[in-house]
Amino acid sequence: MKKFFVVLMLALGCAAGAFAQTDEEQDISRNRSKYANDQFREDDQYTVAEPYATVTVTQPKSRRIKNVIVMIGDGMGVEQVGCGWVLNGGHLNMDNMPYSGYSRTYAVDRLITDSCAGGSALATGVKTRYYYMGVDPDGNPVPSLLHDAQQKGMKTGVAVTCRINDATPLDFVGHSLDRDEEEINAAQFVDSGVDFLSGGGIQFWQGREDGRDLVKEMVDRGYTFVDNLEDLNKVHEGRVLGLFAPLEMEPALDRGPVLEDCAMKAIELLDNRKGFFLMVEGSSIDDWCHRQKVGYMAEELFDFDRTVGKVLKWAEKDGHTLVIVTADHATGGLTLIDGSLPERTVKVHFSTKGHNGILVPVFAYGPHAEEFTGVFENAELARKIRALMK
């Protein structure tokens, strides 16, 4: 009944034909900023019937970092966090992280970044150009935090809700000058050595133009392949490749706790005496801000925040895990113009279908979390993590 009510509110709060297959929707590109405009539209509003419970955690006493978990809300600026806070009755798991700061997201060649350059700075510690992933401004490959972890003998993982070969995951795993080279970028994962991979985008792994079956190639390298949560939950050892959708996964209310389950399964499989590095992305917050649908955006943010809560409770028990939650950029020029905290409702205005350049939040928990306060560049955030991983 609860799910039915929330879905009903989504339908009422969004413009008619939210899922109509427009030319934009049929384009498989993830570069939604190319549809950006500054035309004003009818305000969107949303109400949450029942908030979810949030966790509380205590900072660990240990100063030793064994594991690092970087969690990225794609398109999640302070505006999105603010709306989510109201809609969940004044509580988010991110609120309970004891240290916070702000990150500047601009690219080398554009004030308003894309996920490629924004994510690349977070992954490598080097700012780069729009559309570039895992490379410097001259196009030279740059090692990421994930690569550093592999060099140290740590296990590594990536869990997202978008296609696994998209901008942010590729920023951590590979190198590319063009996000639209989808099949080429997907092929980089085969020999990446990443221990846990989950997301969507199976159409770039099988039925490819070059005839390669990347899933089979990964299985031949010892990976267990799964395409549903039931099979994923049966895996208790070894490397995993999980591909759960042809492109991006379904909206949060339809797909269920895929991100939560994948993140916690990754932690289960990666945890070892040498430590691990895990990147988790709430990829679709961005998608629904591009489409200017605050209800769908909020449910994606809640899905991400619930995952944050699960990770924080595990990290508290572990005592040696640094958890960083941030964003690659903000999306939609979102403004909260009305609403009610007691009634858990918001009324908003989107000023653009593209990205915007406002500072994004950084939340930190665990050993040395206090080093992530203040205002700094997105690339500096990665350099701070790199220094602590040494």
213 phi and psi, to 5 degrees?
A: -110, 95
- The type of residue at 224 is T
- The type of residue at 317 is K
The residue from 33, 103, 115, 120 that is catalytic is 115
Exposed / middle / buried, residue 321 (Cβ in 10 Å: 0-12, 13-18, 19+): buried
Cα dihedral sign for 44, 247, 172, 210? negative
Tokens in use for 237? Answer: 């050892």
Q: How many CA atoms lie within 13 A of 36 on its CB side?
A: 16
Which H helix or E strand runs over 305?
helix 294-318
- The type of residue at 43 is D
Exposed / middle / buried, residue 61 (Cβ in 10 Å: 0-12, 13-18, 19+): exposed
Please list, residue by residue across 233-263, b when 16 or more beta carbons sit within 10 angstroms of its beta carbon and e when fewer do: eebeeebbbbbbbeebbebbbebeebbbbbb
Q: What is the CA radius of gyration of the chain?
A: 19
DSSP string, 216-262: HHHHHTTPEEESSHHHHTT--SS-EEEE-SSSSPPPHHHH-SHHHHH
135 phi and psi, to 5 degrees?
A: -135, 160
Active site residue 103: no
- The type of residue at 302 is F
**d(C-alpha 36, C-alpha 355), whole Å:** 8
Helix (H, G, I), strand (E, B) or coil at 109: coil
How is the beta sheet containing 44-47 ordered, strand by strand? 44-47, 345-350, 334-340
**d(C-alpha 192, C-alpha 263), whole Å:** 19
195 phi and psi, to 5 degrees?
A: -80, -30
What residues act catalytically? 115
